[in-house]
């Protein structure tokens, strides 16, 4: 099996081709993913599954962002493999966050009600343990190992899989293409201004995804975006986190209401849980519209513009 070599934070240069910069980012993210495989296997720290899943998602996002600079078969093959890994991890991650949230709610209850909710949590944990067996089966499969070997080779080999361009005058360096790529990501976020009034949770969820894609893109290239870029990333992260909590609650309550074979006592405590979370959801929606206005202020958007101005 190919050894995954720890990256020494390969520095991205503004004069790198966008494909070479991408290779460096893929290499770092693959190391992050591999570093969290053992923890994802045993489940002792739920952050391992989270970090491994995030790494797989970031690499898929990067392919989506700059995939037209690589051979189509390369993009399709590795994006598909990363999607499969992310889906397997997602089955566990969704239960991790639901169980953790229920445990936080459990701590606010009286002793007798805590016992009742604990019975429900054990049902969810049983499902999580089953999903972890399936995850480990995937990790042990020859398909997974071959994917890791081949993807490692791709990330460690300069110009491998790069699509050659016949037009020598076409822009290809980071300093020329990054402003275009980031403006597209930002435009996808700000376009929601026209549909946010009275928006349903599905719309806010879609906006959360766009904020996530913007954040990933900015973080990939933060080393060349300076302090203004760092400040803007913080603004984007704050928006994503708020929308993430809104989405989590919607998912939590939907999934909680689908738990089967509950006793009347267990059903009652689940209803309490959903009521409490829906009250929080109303507050979060109000916070979102205030924060959205702040994000779109000229002073905030100038941070984005200033970050691009330093590209030389």
Query: Are residues 225 and 292 located together in one domain of the fold?
Result: yes
pLDDT tens digits along 2-44: 444 444 457 999 999 999 999 999 999 999 999 999 999 999 9
Query: Are residues 82 and 153 located together in one domain of the fold?
Result: yes
Report which of 234, 208, 206, 205 is spatially closest to residue 219, judged by C-alpha positions.
234
Query: Are residues 142 and 175 located together in one domain of the fold?
Result: no
pLDDT tens digits along 202-237: 999 999 999 999 999 999 999 999 999 999 999 999
Of 98, 131, 159, which residue sits at a domain end? 159
Residue 268's domain spans which residues? 171-312
Burial class (CB in 10 A: 0-12, 13-18, 19+), 172: middle
Looking at the domain assignment, is residue 7 inside a domain?
A: no
Query: Are residues 141 and 223 located together in one domain of the fold?
Result: no
The domain that holds 153 is classified in CATH as 1.40.20.10
Distance CA 13, CA 29 (A): 18
8 vs 105, more confident: 105
- For residue 185, the model assigns a pLDDT of 98
Secondary structure of 171-222 as H, E, C letters: CCEHHHHHHHHHHHHHHHHHHHHHCCCCCCHHHHHHHHHHHHHHHHHHHHCH
Report which of 59, 66, 74 is spatially closest to residue 29, judged by C-alpha positions.
59
Of 133, 159, 185, which residue sits at a domain end? 159
Looking at the domain assignment, is residue 176 inside a domain?
A: yes
**Mean predicted confidence (pLDDT) in 117-122:** 97
As beta bridge partners, residue 70 has 162
As beta bridge partners, residue 17 has 173
Looking at the domain assignment, is residue 1 inside a domain?
A: no
**Mean predicted confidence (pLDDT) in 122-142:** 97
Query: Are residues 153 and 186 located together in one domain of the fold?
Result: no
pLDDT tens digits along 135-167: 999 999 999 999 999 999 999 999 999 998 777
Query: Are residues 31 and 69 located together in one domain of the fold?
Result: yes
pLDDT above 90 (res 177): yes
Contacts of 26 (CB under 8 A, 6+ apart): 59, 62, 151, 154, 155
Query: Are residues 27 and 111 located together in one domain of the fold?
Result: yes
Looking at the domain assignment, is residue 3 inside a domain?
A: no
Looking at the domain assignment, is residue 295 inside a domain?
A: yes
Looking at the domain assignment, is residue 166 inside a domain?
A: no
**Mean predicted confidence (pLDDT) in 229-254:** 96
- Can you give the pTM of this predicted structure? 0.92
Query: At 162, phi and psi to the nearest 5?
Result: -75, 135
Looking at the domain assignment, is residue 164 inside a domain?
A: no
Q: Which residue has the tokens 């520095």?
A: 11
Query: Are residues 152 and 176 located together in one domain of the fold?
Result: no
Number of domains forming the structure of the chain: 2
CA distances to 5, 74, 231 from 301, rounded to whole Å, are: 38, 35, 10
pLDDT tens digits along 53-103: 999 999 999 999 999 999 999 999 999 999 999 999 999 999 999 999 999
Query: Are residues 79 and 187 located together in one domain of the fold?
Result: no
């Amino acid at each position: 099996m190919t050894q995954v070599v720890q990256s020494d934070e390969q520095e991205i240069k503004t004069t790198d081709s966008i494909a070479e910069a991408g290779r460096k980012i893929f290499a770092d993210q693959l190391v992050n993913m591999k570093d969290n495989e053992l923890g994802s296997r045993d489940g002792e720290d739920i952050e391992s599954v989270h970090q491994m899943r995030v790494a797989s998602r970031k690499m898929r996002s990067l392919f989506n962002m700059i995939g037209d600079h690589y051979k189509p078969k390369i993009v399709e093959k590795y994006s598909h493999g990363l999607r499969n890994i992310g889906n397997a991890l997602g089955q566990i991650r969704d239960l991790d966050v639901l169980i953790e949230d229920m445990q936080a709610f459990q701590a606010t209850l009286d002793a007798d009600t805590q016992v009742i909710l604990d019975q429900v949590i054990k049902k969810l944990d049983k499902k999580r343990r089953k999903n972890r067996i399936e995850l480990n089966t995937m990790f042990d499969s020859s398909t997974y190992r071959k994917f890791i070997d081949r993807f490692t080779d791709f990330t460690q080999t300069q110009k491998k899989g790069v699509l050659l361009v016949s037009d020598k005058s076409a822009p290809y360096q980071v300093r020329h293409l990054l402003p275009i790529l980031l403006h597209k990501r930002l435009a996808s976020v700000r376009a929601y201004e026209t549909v946010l009034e009275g928006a349903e949770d599905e719309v806010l969820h879609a906006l959360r995804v766009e904020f996530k894609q913007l954040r990933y893109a900015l973080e990939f290239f933060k080393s060349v975006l300076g302090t203004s870029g760092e400040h803007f990333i913080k603004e984007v992260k704050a928006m994503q986190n708020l929308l993430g909590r809104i989405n989590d609650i919607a998912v939590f309550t939907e999934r909680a209401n689908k738990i089967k074979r509950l006793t009347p006592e267990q059903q009652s405590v689940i209803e309490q849980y959903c009521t409490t979370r829906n009250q929080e959801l109303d507050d979060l929606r109000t916070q979102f519209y205030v924060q959205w206005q702040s994000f779109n202020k000229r002073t905030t958007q100038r941070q984005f513009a200033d970050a691009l101005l330093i590209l030389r």
